[in-house]
């Protein structure tokens, strides 16, 4: 049973470009969380999605950031017009049911560098 | 506003001795606490958790203690092994309608020397 997959593992973008980060949850998991880790900080919650629904996006910046989890395919975190402050590690986690805490399985992360 | 704090950025311990990692929180609505371990270039891995109705939970070499009145929890690793060297994150959840949203501390780098 493959774990949570994230790609790309490393992404370099210039200021003003778009970044698309993908997350494939574990098989059988229909709940996806995105977290961001800035340098020297802990992970910070961004958004929680179920298939085709955004449940909680209270941690998402209001502008430039969006997330989706379509019926088919991976979850996508999209950052438009990236700025240097967006440079961070972005982690996706999946869980088998709603409200899960200790059964959130994390992917290896995507390290975004904005030049 | 840092609701979960790990005030020690790093900890160095000799193999075989006890490692004690500490975590403080400010949000009294937190009712579930977790510890994660993270190696470089990997995602966090769940270690152990504790509900606010308990004050201790044990799993092998790992024990988590919760002091609700002090809003403090700690992770004890006994005996420590070199393979335990990693970054340890404390995390908390409010339960209920938090949908499992986790609030993390900044992490403590544990180094276990052979």
Question: Is the distance from CB of A6 to CB of A110 less than 8 angstroms?
Answer: yes
Q: Which residues of A touch B95 (CB under 8 A)?
A: 99
pLDDT in tens, A38-77: 988 889 999 999 999 999 999 999 999 999 999 999 999 9
Q: CB–CB of B102 and A35 under 8 A?
A: yes
Buried b (16+ CB within 10 A) or exposed e, B39-55: eeeebbebbbbbeeeee
Q: CB–CB of B102 and A107 under 8 A?
A: no
Is the C-alpha dihedral spanning A30, B53, B86, A90 positive or negative?
A: positive
CA of A56: how far to CAs of A32, A86, B33, B91, B101, in Å?
11, 21, 20, 18, 9
User: Phi, psi at residue B35, to the nearest 5°?
Assistant: -120, 135
DSSP codes of every residue in B74-104: EEEESS--GGG-EEEEEEEE--GGGTT--EE
Out of A40, A103, A108, name the one closest to residue B42 (CB). A108
Instruction: Say whether residue A109 is in contact with chain B using an 8 A CB cutoff.
Output: yes
Structure tokens at A3: 């774990």
Structure tokens at B92: 């908390």
Name the band, by pLDDT with cuts 50, 70 and 90, for residue A96. Answer: confident
Name the band, by pLDDT with cuts 50, 70 and 90, for residue B96. Answer: low
Average pLDDT over residues B65-74: 97
Q: CB–CB of A99 and B100 under 8 A?
A: yes
Q: CB–CB of A42 and B95 under 8 A?
A: no
Q: CB–CB of B99 and A98 under 8 A?
A: yes
């Amino acid at each position: 049973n493959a774990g949570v997959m994230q790609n790309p593992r490393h992404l370099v973008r210039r200021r003003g470009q778009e970044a698309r980060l993908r997350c494939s949850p574990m098989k059988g998991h229909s709940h996806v969380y995105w977290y961001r880790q800035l340098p020297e900080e802990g992970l910070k919650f961004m958004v929680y999605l179920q298939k085709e629904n955004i449940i909680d996006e209270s941690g998402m910046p209001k502008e430039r950031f969006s997330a989706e989890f379509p019926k088919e395919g991976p979850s996508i975190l999209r950052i438009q017009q990236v700025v240097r402050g967006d440079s961070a590690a972005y982690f996706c986690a999946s869980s088998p049911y709603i409200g899960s805490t200790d059964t959130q399985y994390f992917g290896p992360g995507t390290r975004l560098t904005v030049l | 506003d840092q609701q979960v704090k790990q005030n020690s950025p790093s900890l160095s311990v000799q193999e075989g001795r006890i490692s004690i990692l500490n975590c403080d929180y400010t949000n009294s609505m937190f009712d579930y606490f977790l510890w994660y371990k993270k190696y470089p270039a990997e995602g966090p891995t769940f270690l152990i958790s504790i509900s606010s109705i308990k004050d201790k939970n044990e799993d092998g070499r790992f024990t988590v203690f919760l002091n609700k009145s002090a809003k403090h929890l700690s992770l004890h690793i006994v005996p420590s092994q070199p393979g335990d060297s990693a970054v340890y994150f404390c995390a908390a959840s409010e339960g209920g309608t938090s949908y499992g949203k986790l609030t993390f501390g900044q992490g403590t780098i544990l180094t276990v020397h052979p």
